[in-house]
């Protein structure tokens, strides 16, 4: 089955700096890669996703890059704000509607 690794497990940045979270996957058949943000006591919220036919996608301060050859994808948050503090999960799946394989999560703290 698919195995998704996520690094780092914790990340602290100063407000205004950028944050980068990286994930690798093992199954070359995976073709859909969403990123979720989970705040304390809440369920994960989809923040951005990318399909395997695209190398990069951007939405305001958030961007995701995908390297299919190396089987890794990354989340980039620019101009971080305290409200970006949360746990971020990457996931991989074969098909948008199929089972997600989640990474282990990254706890991001943005220091004011």
Partner 1 sequence: GAVVSQHPSRVICKSGTSVKIECRSLDFQATTMFWYRQFPKQSLMLMATSNEGSKATYEQGVEKDKFLINHASLTLSTLTVTSAHPEDSSFYICSARSRTGGFDQPQHFGDGTRLSIL
Cβ 4 to partner 1, closest distance in Å? Answer: 9
Work out whether 104 is an interface residue with partner 1 (CB under 8 A). Answer: yes
Residues 63-102 that bind partner 1 (CB under 8 A): 89, 95-100, 102
Look up residue 26 and give its DSSP letter: S
69's CB contacts (< 8 A; 6+ apart) are none
User: Measured from the CB atom, is 6 or 74 closer to partner 1?
Assistant: 6
Give one DSSP letter per residue of 93-110, joined into a string. BSSTTS--EE---EEEEE
User: Measured from the CB atom, is 78 or 107 closer to partner 1?
Assistant: 107
């Amino acid at each position: 089955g698919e195995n998704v690794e996520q690094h780092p497990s914790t990340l602290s940045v100063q407000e205004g700096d950028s944050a980068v979270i990286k994930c690798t996957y093992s199954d070359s058949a995976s073709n859909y890669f969403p990123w979720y943000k989970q705040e304390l006591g809440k369920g994960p919220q989809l923040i951005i996703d990318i399909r395997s036919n695209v190398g990069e996608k951007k939405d305001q301060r958030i961007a995701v890059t995908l390297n299919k050859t190396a089987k890794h994808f990354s989340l980039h948050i620019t101009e971080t704000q305290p409200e970006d503090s949360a746990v971020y999960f990457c996931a991989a799946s074969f098909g948008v509607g199929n089972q997600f394989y989640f990474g282990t999560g990254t706890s991001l703290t943005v220091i004011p």
